[in-house]
């Protein structure tokens, strides 16, 4: 990181490390170079003062409040045919045989390459964000909850299990948790304010960014249309909502609940489970 900033410094030492990759069982070599530099030279520099609302998703990796997007590279989907072919070949081999182990290593290397490409992509995108933004607003997502299995139980079997399994694979391949983790420490280093809105309280995908009213929508509805006349792509509207929610006093950063431009509608007397955001269009989803 920041190789150009360290060009004038002289390396102190070089350490070569050989480590066994637990996934592939192969030895890998690493070079570690140590330089003596002032503390100020290591600090992450922020060069812009922009404010950005971001809605992370699957169709696009990131949707911004101004309508711009970052495309989803879909590393896993690109590698699925090759991965499935290797797994079929391995299924025909005797477990523990030399060829079985070779195919297992190839599968592990492919998974590692997918993970490395995803990590590299997220590192670059999050670094660019904190460098140009003084404020970043997004939702406090929980990828583990979003990717829960729909299989159900013997007494209550789930519905559309295969479709949900494919959706879960896409959710996990996007790397939302990794992106949030990187944004947290990079924003702290750069002096960028990171605002994580409370999704259940705010309901960004259902709320209108113009009049702050709740407009129920199903997951298949990709346009936000409100009676106030606001019409935007659903993800852009969500990004605007979290950005508006972030313009609160600095003493309540990242809560998304304590202070906002307009109060949320009262929901007294409703069970807590009915106040959560769901993809249904019934009144209980509001």
Alpha helices in the chain (DSSP H): 39-42, 75-91, 98-132, 143-146, 161-174, 176-190, 199-202, 234-246
Question: Strand pairing partners for 34?
Answer: 13
Q: Say if residues 179 and 136 touch (Cβ distance below 8 Å).
A: no
User: What's the rounded Cα separation, in Å, for the pair 224 and 237?
Assistant: 7
Q: Say if residues 250 and 258 touch (Cβ distance below 8 Å).
A: no
User: What's the rounded Cα separation, in Å, for the pair 222 and 230?
Assistant: 14
| 193 conformational bin, left if phi > 0, alpha if psi -120 to 50, beta if neither | beta
In the residue annotation, 27 being an active-site residue is answered as no
User: What φ, ψ does residue 194 adopt, rounded to 5°?
Assistant: -105, 120
Given the residues 13, 49, 55, 78, select the one marked as catalytic: 55
C-alpha closest to that of 178 among 202, 139, 143, 228:
143
Given the residues 49, 120, 139, 188, select the one marked as catalytic: 139
In the residue annotation, 139 being an active-site residue is answered as yes
In the residue annotation, 55 being an active-site residue is answered as yes
Given the residues 13, 85, 235, 277, select the one marked as catalytic: 235
Q: Say if residues 90 and 81 touch (Cβ distance below 8 Å).
A: no
User: What's the rounded Cα separation, in Å, for the pair 217 and 204?
Assistant: 11
> Known catalytic residues?
55, 139, 235
């Amino acid at each position: 990181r920041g190789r150009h900033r360290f060009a004038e410094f002289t390396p102190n030492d070089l350490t070569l490390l050989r480590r066994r990759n637990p996934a592939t069982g192969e030895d890998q070599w690493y070079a570690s170079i140590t330089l003596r530099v002032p503390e100020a030279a290591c600090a992450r520099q922020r060069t812009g003062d922009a404010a950005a609302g971001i809605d992370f998703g699957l169709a696009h990796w990131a949707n911004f409040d101004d309508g711009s997007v970052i495309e989803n590279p879909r590393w896993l989907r690109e590698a699925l045919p090759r991965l499935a072919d290797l797994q079929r070949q391995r299924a025909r081999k005797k477990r523990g045989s030399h060829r079985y182990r070779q195919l297992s290593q190839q599968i592990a290397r492919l998974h590692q390459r997918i993970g490395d490409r995803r990590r590299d992509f997220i590192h670059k995108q999050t670094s660019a964000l904190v460098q140009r933004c003084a404020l970043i607003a997004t939702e406090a997502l929980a990828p583990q909850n979003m990717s829960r299995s729909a299989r159900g139980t013997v007494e209550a079997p789930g519905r559309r299990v295969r479709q949900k399994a494919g959706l879960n694979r896409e959710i996990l391949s996007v790397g939302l948790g990794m992106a949030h983790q990187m944004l947290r420490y990079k924003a702290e280093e750069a002096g960028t304010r990171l605002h994580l809105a409370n999704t259940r309280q705010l309901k960004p995908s259902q709320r209108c960014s113009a009049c702050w009213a709740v407009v129920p929508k199903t997951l298949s509805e990709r346009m936000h249309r409100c009676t106030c006349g606001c019409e935007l792509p659903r993800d852009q509207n969500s990004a605007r909502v979290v950005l508006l929610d972030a313009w609160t006093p600095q003493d309540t950063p990242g809560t998304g609940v304590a202070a906002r431009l307009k109060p949320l509608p009262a929901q007294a007397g409703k069970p807590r489970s009915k106040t959560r955001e769901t993809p249904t269009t019934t009144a209980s989803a509001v």
